[in-house]
Structures are given as structure tokens and as C-alpha cells.
Structure 1
Amino acid sequence: MITIWGRLNSHNVKKVAWAAIEMGIEHRRIDMGGAFGFTDDYLAMNPNRLIPTIEDDSVPGGFSLWESNAILRYLADAHAPHLRPEAPAERAQGDKWMDWQFTFAEAQRTAFQGIVRQGKDVNDPQVSASIAATIKLAERFDAALGQTPFLAGKAFGIADIPMGVYAYTFFTLPFERPSLPNMEDWYAGLTARPGYASQVMIPLS
């Protein structure tokens, strides 16, 4: 049994909750962070006051881990190795995009927070600057997906999960986007995955 600590409207929690379904891992999720606050027991596991954190009861003596992308790599290695390429070059390509996701997230953050959490218009100067920066990165991402259908090669894997979560926000926020055919096709494939639909495609908040 895996316990996932964190509220589902967090992008980083969505990654892990979706991954657990993709991997067929028995799990439960307990709300933590944001409006739910942090318990002392939680902070003993993760003193950073961030989410998510997991506990894996399958490890003798118990095991907890924080940092969302580290959690994804651990879960794949421990429970679903088919989602993580064996070839070092392919694995590194996937890891590159998993790390690059934080660049995309930072660019999109002001647009997301401004529109969703602060009620700002897309014409707000800070929001519009964030949108422009995000689109520039999305065009770079689209070009990469023109080379391979998934971020670590020919098959879906954990490398697709971090950007998959942020792609939902990108395509859901109410601003005009250029044609991004490769990213659009990749995203359409993600929306057909049950774990993505149930854990990621929820109202932005």
C-alpha cells in the first residue's frame, strides 16, 4: 500500500496520483497542504512544508519520500519498470524533460495564479507576459514531440507525466494559443488515459 499525502489541486500531487493509477499500485491519498494545513506527523516526514510525500508500506521498516519527480522515478523503478527505459540514452532523454518541466511551470505560474486564483484578465501585463513566455516554451516542446511521439522515445513512460500535468493547465487556461500539432496530438492521447482523466483533468483551483 502506498500513501500519497497532498491535495489533488496541486500539480505535483497530480503527477503522483496519476502515476499510481498508471502503475496499478494500491494506494490511498490523504489531503495535506494548502487549506488543509500540515500536521506535525507530516512535517516529521517532510520538513519542507511542501507536497507531495509518499509512504511505501511494501518496504521493510517503511519508507517515505518527497520531491514529486523523485517519487515518480522511485515508483517506476520499484513497481513499474516498463515505464522507465533501460537504455541510458533513452532514460536520460526522459529525465531531461522531467527536469525541464520546472522551467515550463515557472513560466506558466503567473498566468495560472493570476487567472485562476486572483481573477485577473489575460490582458493584465504580468499575466500576458507569462502567457507569452509559456507559449514560447510550448513551441519548443512541440518541436521536440515532432521527433519522437513520447518524451523518452516510442512508448509512454514516466517522463511524460510531469509535462502532462502542466499541459492540462496550458490547454485549459483561457488564452489564445498557436497551432501546436505535435503537442496537441500527444495531449489528446493523454486525455484518453483513465488515470489522467480522473486525477489531472479536474477544475483548476
Structure 2
Amino acid sequence: MANYRLVSFKTCPWVQRAAIVLREKKIPFEFQHIEPDNRPDWFRAISPHNKVPVLRIDDRISLFESASIAEYLDETHAPRLHPEDPVERAINRAWIEYMPTFVDLTSGHAYVDSEAEFEKAVAAVPGAFAKLETAIEARKGGPFFNGARYSLVDAAYAPFLQRHLFLERIRKIGQIDRFPRVKAWAVALSERPSTHSFPPAEFEAMYRASVKKRNKWISQFVTEKAAAE
């Protein structure tokens, strides 16, 4: 088997997506963490967009962009996480394509500078959750997007649903509670071992520190200990 090294920022959700796929397939790999504010020259040479993740294969090939890495791993290592049926696979890919829009809408309130902007961003959250609630219901999903079978859709959304639950423990907006299928999905993903590159409490503390460091409106509510749900 090839030797895999995943170049990473410790709290990057896009890296986490690639790491999840590696763990789901039980592929041995090692992390190489670098600092976002001090990206070395060797990294710039292997990452055309100067972004993580980069998957190094045998210290010879560099794959970049988390979606491409996930697809490569799914094509080359069992078990297959995409559905075998071409139509189902296309539907799954379409929902993966929606994920960046979903992330912008459900995390926008963490990146604004005033309470008024916060409330405006919160108002956009239900629409994104409603789309996924309908999709999961139509597909008779649960606990994962396609039902009992874990997929690349789950790996794509897991880092961001996990972070939404973290945000709820910083400043609760309660929107996810209106969508029980999405909430159950988020909890199931957060509890799945493959989601975690670090011990859960340690990683949540790292995430909270990053929110505090951003110095946005929500940052004032970050405490040393996460609030219980």
C-alpha cells in the first residue's frame, strides 16, 4: 500500500473531511500539521492554491482539494462509500456540491461583527437546514444520509455539522432543534469515531479558542468550558 501523509492545519474542517475518509477505509496515514500563518516554502510548492489539505502519496505525488482527495480514495480503496447505483451516486454528489453553500448559511453567524448582523445571519440558517431535512426524509435516511450506510456525503458534512453543535454551545440559536432528522444526523456524525482526529473535548477546546481568536461578535461568549446541550 502507498504511504500517505496528510498536510494539515489542526482545526481545518476540509482536512478533517479527508481524514474521515482515510479512517473510514482504515487506510494508514500520518498528519503533518503546519501553521496557517507560517506556511513553509515546501508547502507552497506542492499546494497550487496554498491551501490544505494536501495528500502526499509516497512523498512523490500531491493531491489537493478535499473533494478530489475523497473521490480518489473512494475509487482506489474499499469499501466503496459512494452508492453503486449511478443515479444514487449522482444524487449524493449533488448534495456534496451543495455543502459549501450549506456551510456558509449555517455558520455565517460566527463571522459577523455586530448583534444585528448576527441576527440577520441566524435568519438564514433554517432554509439550509430545511433543504437537508427534506432530503433525508425523502431518502428515508438515518442515522446517516443514505440510511444505515455511511457515505461520502456524511464525510463531507460531518466537520461542519460538528462545528455547528460547537457553536450552539457558545451561543445557542436553536435552529437545528427545529429539524429533528438533521439534528439526529449531526449527533450521529459527531459520535462516530472516524470524525475525530483529536480527543473530542480537546478538539472542541481548540475550536472554541479559534472562535475567540477571530474576535467576532460571538467571540465574547466563548468561555473556557463548553456549555452542556
Runs of 5+ unmatched residues, structure 2: 211-229
Residues paired across the two proteins, number = 194
1:160 CA displacement? 1.2
**Which residue does the alignment assign to 1:117?**
none
Establish whether residue 168 from structure 1 lines up as the match of residue 136 from structure 2.
no
Q: Work out the CA distance in 2 between the residues paired with 1:94 and 1:176.
A: 27
Do the aligned partners of residues 163 and 199 (structure 1) sit closer, same or farther apart at CA in structure 2, a change above 3 Å counting? farther
**Which residue does the alignment assign to 2:132?**
141
- What are the Cα deviations for residues 140-196 of structure 1, in whole angstroms up to 9, with x where unaligned? 111111122143565211121111211112222122224211112222222331121
1:199 CA displacement? 5.0
Q: Which amino acid aligns with 2:52?
A: I
**Which residue does the alignment assign to 1:73?**
71
Q: Work out the CA distance in 1 between the residues paired with 2:85 and 2:72.
A: 17
**Which residue does the alignment assign to 2:51?**
50
CA contact under 8 A between 2:7 and 2:32: conserved in structure 1?
A: yes
Q: Work out the CA distance in 1 between the residues paired with 2:78 and 2:199.
A: 20
Normalised by the length of structure 1, the TM-score is 0.84
Q: Work out the CA distance in 1 between the residues paired with 2:199 and 2:99.
A: 16
- The more displaced of 87-96 and 190-199 is 190-199
**Which residue does the alignment assign to 1:98?**
96
**Which residue does the alignment assign to 1:39?**
40
CA contact under 8 A between 1:7 and 1:34: conserved in structure 2?
A: yes
Q: Which amino acid aligns with 1:190?
A: L
Mapping for residues 8-19 of structure 1, pairs under 5 Å:
8-19=10-21
**Which residue does the alignment assign to 2:224?**
none
**Which residue does the alignment assign to 1:190?**
189
**Which residue does the alignment assign to 1:124?**
115
1:88 CA displacement? 1.0
- What are the Cα deviations for residues 17-74 of structure 1, in whole angstroms up to 9, with x where unaligned? 2221111111111113523x211111111121111111122xxx83211111111111
**Which residue does the alignment assign to 1:112?**
110
**Which residue does the alignment assign to 2:30?**
28
CA contact under 8 A between 1:76 and 1:83: conserved in structure 2?
A: yes
Do the aligned partners of residues 153 and 92 (structure 1) sit closer, same or farther apart at CA in structure 2, a change above 3 Å counting? farther
Establish whether residue 158 from structure 1 lines up as the match of residue 159 from structure 2.
no
Q: Work out the CA distance in 2 between the residues paired with 1:147 and 1:135.
A: 18
CA contact under 8 A between 1:18 and 1:200: conserved in structure 2?
A: no
Do the aligned partners of residues 200 and 184 (structure 1) sit closer, same or farther apart at CA in structure 2, a change above 3 Å counting? farther
Q: Work out the CA distance in 2 between the residues paired with 1:200 and 1:158.
A: 23
RMSD: 2.2
